[in-house]
Structure 1
Amino acid sequence: MSTDPSGGLGRARSASGNHAFVTLVTNADYAMGARALLQSLRQTGTKADLVVLHTGGVDGARLAPLEALGARLVACDHLPLSDAFNQRHARGALHGAAPFAKGRKPLFHSPLDNFCKLRLWQLTDYERVIFLDADTIVLRPIDRFFAYPEFCAAPNVYQSLADFHRLNSGVFVAAPSEDTFAAMLARLDVPDAFWQRTDQTFLQAFFPEWHGLPVTMNMLQYVWFALPDLWDWQSISVLHYQYEKPWERDHPKAKQLKPLIDLWHRVYRGEPIGDLSALPQSGSSSTDMGQDKAAVS
């Protein structure tokens, strides 16, 4: 198995600065999510590069709208992992061994794809990057977090306060380094390694002294109904649609999460985020934002 950190990334236009927001697109669905994410970042007025790592699972037609939004497209290969590792972390094997009990992952979610985000450590033309999953949107400027150290992530809070001891890898601050990437490859695929929540479990093990970002930097959508006292539109910087995705039609939590889904569709269409204080509050009986979900393509 190769552990050469210099390969695996395609050519792309040059970086325009020292900082970048990075996301990962592995199929057409996540290309749709990334489009909304890039729209939201543009609304914050950021001057940082917007980088989309993408695998061969998404075609050029789906990437074109992202490039039109100013994204720097960087093709990436899957990591050079052993057959045994891939078998243990294939969707059926992984979800069978460690099923999700609180929500449903969509069928287009492939656990092995998650490890591709480790390739952002190869983006050494940047001093600091902020990674954002393609199922997030940014509600207010977050460029100040480029000054934070490696490795920063928010806790995986969406059910109870006991979750504060686990990180969520949907948003994190990192410092690209070929040495770090090589060390990750050396540790990732050891005999019988099983990373229960893929990159999330691995990153917490690799960075055991991880620094905590505020929970508002990665507000998981289930907080809306599970921990409503934590929900404050005026303080949320990044909204993360974990489990079910807002572009899925009639997903199991669609009624409960309607205000959040309607917001995502507005952002996807390129409409202003607007006054967050005007949005329904968590626990409110009103779930109508006056916006119907539009068809997306």
Structure 2
Amino acid sequence: ELAHVKSKYAFATFLSGKEDAKLTDPYFIAVRTLTYQLLYANETRSRDQTIPFVVLCTDKVPLEQRKRLQRDGAIVVVAESITSDWATTSVANWQGILTKLRLWELTQFERIALLDGDTILTQPLDAIFNDPAVSLQETQLNKTDPNDPVIKPDERALPPTYAFAAVTEMKAEHAFPPSRENNDFPNYNYFNAGFFVFKPSLDMLAYYLSVLDIPDRFNPDMQEQNLLNYAHRREGAMSWMLLENTWNIHFPRWEDVQGGVKSIHDKWWDPLDDRLKDMMVAWRWRMEGFFEMRD
């Protein structure tokens, strides 16, 4: 299906899946809702309707789920798993999440915007590809820090250019938009890997995998999030660029939606702020009704 895509941009998500997962699995329903919002719903679909939605899956995602997503209009890509002997997690829903890095293999696209499956849109997002933060950056190989050299002999060579932009991770209690003045960020230099824009690159993937091969090079608790935060650390050669939190909010509250945030990162079936539940559940049922009629 990718061969027929003409757009230089794509939206993507990752579905790790469980072999026994049903079509009623809440994470799967979340990805279907995201498909509906990005491709069909008038209030939220991309104004550039050539931009595809790619769902990267592991081979553990049941065939029934893959076929349903394809019928819904998503492009399903089954990726070879990426695992690590040392960077492991005990969180069941994060198993296999390192495979998300396979998105860097989709080099037919100039930029991909990654959204975690448990994202709900309130507005179209395709203008993000014009945000200055997602523009091509030169790798700063001349940065010098004797305590943290940017070029490390046990890592692969860094690509000469890159693009990587993300939103700062925030506290559950925050103002909108979150700010440093309001002390809304636990660490202003740390991003959440549930929403970012990047340039696919096989050289970059090779670099990431070389980092993954080195035990304790980064804190493994959050797996790919901490790997990416290490690779694109602010003091490093490939510093991440800042997307404003008006694009996406983690730990969303009703006030964020009222304030005009374009997307929220939370579970539709169990939101942090109960005031959001009706809106999120309504999107789920709109999706179900739309695809039922379309079938």
TM-score by length of 2: 0.70
Q: How do 1:77-226 and structure 2 match up within 5 A?
A: 77-79=80-82, 81-82=83-84, 84-85=85-86, 88-91=87-90, 108-110=92-94, 112-147=95-130, 148-149=134-135, 150-159=163-172, 160-163=183-186, 164-193=188-217, 194-208=219-233, 209-221=239-251, 223-224=252-253
How much does 1:192 deviate? 3.5
Look up the equivalent residue of 1:151 and give its one-letter code: F
> Residue 15 of structure 1 contacts residue 126 of structure 1 at CA under 8 Å; is this kept in 2?
no
Identity value in percent: 28
SS of corresponding position for 1:17 = coil
Alignment counterpart, residue 64 of structure 1, candidates 63, 67, 70: 67
Look up the equivalent residue of 1:124 and give its one-letter code: T
The farther-off stretch of 39-48 and 118-127 is 39-48
Q: How do 1:213-252 and structure 2 match up within 5 A?
A: 213-221=243-251, 223-224=252-253, 231-241=256-266, 245-247=267-269
How much does 1:166 deviate? 1.6
How much does 1:12 deviate? 5.4
Q: How do 1:265-280 and structure 2 match up within 5 A?
A: 265-270=281-286
Q: Output one character per residue of 1:178-218: Cα deviation in whole Å (capped at 9) or x when no partner.
A: 11111111112213444231111111111122111111222
> Residue 166 of structure 2 contacts residue 243 of structure 2 at CA under 8 Å; is this kept in 1?
yes
> Residue 12 of structure 1 contacts residue 73 of structure 1 at CA under 8 Å; is this kept in 2?
no
- In structure 1, list runs of 5 or more residues that go unmatched: 1-10, 96-107, 273-297
> Residue 53 of structure 1 contacts residue 75 of structure 1 at CA under 8 Å; is this kept in 2?
yes
SS of corresponding position for 1:172 = strand
Look up the equivalent residue of 1:246 and give its one-letter code: W
Q: 2 CA distance for matches of 1:13 and 1:70?
A: 15
How much does 1:267 deviate? 1.2
Look up the equivalent residue of 2:113 and give its one-letter code: I
Q: Output one character per residue of 1:83-126: Cα deviation in whole Å (capped at 9) or x when no partner.
A: x32xx5131xxx6xxxxxxxxxxxx413x422111111100111
TM-score by length of 1: 0.70
SS of corresponding position for 1:67 = helix
SS of corresponding position for 2:96 = helix
Q: 1:137 to 1:162 in 2, by over 3 A?
A: closer
Look up the equivalent residue of 1:224 and give its one-letter code: R
Q: 2 CA distance for matches of 1:115 and 1:75?
A: 14
Alignment counterpart, residue 34 of structure 1, candidates 31, 34, 37: 31
Q: 1 CA distance for matches of 2:284 and 2:208?
A: 34
How much does 1:13 deviate? 5.0
